[in-house]
Amino acid sequence: MIQASISNSNDLTHFETGQPSFENFFQPRHFINKRAFQKLDLLLLAIESLDTNASQAIIFAINTLGLESYFPNRVVFWKFRCNNPMRKAFKIGSFSNNSLEALIALLSYMADYFYPKIRLLLSSREPENLTIERWQSFESRLNELMIERFNTRRNLVKQYLLMEKSRLARDLLLTLALASGEGGRQRLKASLFDPVL
């Protein structure tokens, strides 16, 4: 588990330790359908809702993990995420299974990085007033990003926006928690076909 200080998220040097090896990770490919890709993008949105500096941290992690061949810069990464039909800027494009595997690895890494904050949100041991405040902040940010970036006329987006906010937020955070730690990538891949999200 990467030990990261979320309270000082401007200091991105935490990524410099614990760089995972990608040897033997890109195994024979499994087809990831459109709905699964939507889930991956939604999980990225959840990460961006955890911290105002998360977008910067994601780009830093891409470089740290050596994924520049898949996502060489912010623009390419943004265009890749626009393969999600829920997005306002949706464009039909092609992408390799390797790039999807790279995205899964990136998400697992970010789940590790933000795990302390995820754990605080999911913990029942924190003072109730602090828990409520943290949840309100996370849910509000998530809702804002969905409205800002997703096409609210699409049925699936409408379903998410009409869904009880705490349920959607908790489902996303639980998935991210499962994606952290040893074996997190494999658990994340398995969760992509879970009908909950």
* 96: in domain: yes
pLDDT in tens, 74-98: 999 999 999 898 999 888 776 778 8
* 45: in domain: yes
* 2: in domain: no
DSSP for residue 21:
P
Residue range of the domain that includes 177: 32-190
Q: Is 17 exposed, middle or buried (0-12, 13-18, 19+ CB in 10 A)?
A: exposed
* 19: in domain: no
- pLDDT of 132 reads 87
Residue 87: φ, ψ to 5°: -80, 150
- pLDDT of 21 reads 42
- For residue 124, give both structure tokens: 């029942």
User: Which residues of the chain, if any, have pLDDT below 50?
Assistant: 1-31
- pLDDT of 171 reads 92
* 175: in domain: yes
- For residue 112, give both structure tokens: 């590790």
- pLDDT of 197 reads 56
* 117: in domain: yes
pLDDT in tens, 95-115: 778 888 999 999 999 999 999
Helices and strands of the chain, counted as H and E runs: 9, 0
- pLDDT of 149 reads 95
DSSP for residue 87:
B
* 164: in domain: yes
* 108: in domain: yes
Number of domains in the chain: 1
Question: Of 162, 109, 169, 164, nearest to 134 (Cα)?
Answer: 169
